[in-house]
Amino acid sequence: MHQKSKHRAFFLVPPEVQLLDLTGPAHLFYEAKDYGIEVETFYLNLEGNSEQTSSAGVSLGNLTPFHAHTLKPDDLLFIPGLESHLFFKSDFKTTYAVFLDWLREQYKNKVRVCSVCTGAYLVAMSGLFDGKKCTTHWRYLEDFQSRFPKAQVLSDRLIIQDGNLYSSAGVSSGIDLALFLMEELFGPVFTAKIAKEVVIYLRRTENDPQLSVFLQYRNHIDTRIHQVQDLLAKNLSIKSTIEDLADAVHMSPRNLTRLFKKTTGITIGDYLDKLRVERATQLLSTGSKVSAVAESCGLQSSNQLRSLLKKHTASLPSDWKD
């Protein structure tokens, strides 16, 4: 059991808060208490009331006004996302000017300020992201950069840390951010226990993209191509020929090859390679042996896997074990 130490985590609750942005990280710190970490949690209302309604219509109570708290160095302050129609209002920054002043003070006090999803807009409005690296949900990246040109917005990044400023891409990435912070504070062994407790298969890191390849190349409406993509993703350990795939969707191999490239912008072979690379790196990060990973990805040997990863990644893990 981890040696007890005192920590404080503050969670802002803005109007129409995105529930998972808030409850995902908060639940992880709740679980940490059962593993020997003494954590005080506080829930702050942006508007000074004791109750707030989430975007899902669920009411959250027992909140305290944000201005009733002065945070200490290394305290955690999570700023979850909220509905875009609110922060797109022309008077939003003026309406919450007092909060933005308060937020700047907490940052000066060396508080770890952590935005989740569109919570990055509140941090950016305070000016804290000026000259700093940050990210937000992929859907808002272009708008965010245009509104806050001084911010160094990084696209296709899940988590960004710049000093005591942290930002994450959106929704479930708040959980990844909380685990990232736990690893900083309590180490990887403790964090792995928490991830296991909440049945998280893979802890994503700051080097991971916002969208998995298993979600990319799906922005189309051709059900036959979706079916082929599903077949490839679900059966990576099985070597499927173009003829097998074509038969499954009642097309000729030639027509499937042409239509797949036209629909997704990538060839079937390249798409399969990307699926294999992501699955392999996931398995390797959990300590799986190279030979077992190669088999899980439908490859004939460890050398074939190494060649594939060398082609698609800059460097290989130094601690692989066959």
Q: Match 């302050």 to its residue by tokens.
A: 77
Closest by CA to 215, choosing from 151, 259, 171, is 171
Q: Tell whether the model's pLDDT for residue 280 goes beyond 70.
A: yes
pLDDT for 315 equals 44
Average pLDDT for the chain: 87
| Of the candidates 166, 196, 186, 159, the residue with the CA atom closest to the CA atom of residue 7 | 186
In Å, what is the CA distance from 232 to each residue of 125, 240, 266? Answer: 44, 8, 14
pLDDT value of residue 180: 87
Q: Give the residue with greater pLDDT, 320 vs 97.
A: 97
* pLDDT, tens digit (0-9, with 9 covering 90-100), for 303-312: 999 888 888 7
How far apart are alpha carbons 91 and 96 in whole angstroms? 9
Confidence (pLDDT) at 2: 45
Say which CATH architecture domain 223-312 belongs to. Orthogonal Bundle (1.10)
**Structural domain boundaries in the chain:** 6-197, 223-312
- 277 with 312: CB under 8 angstroms? yes
75-101: average pLDDT: 96
Q: Does domain 6-197 have CATH number 3.40.50.880?
A: yes
Domains 6-197 and 223-312 share a fold: no
CA torsion 218→219→224→227, rounded to 10°? 20
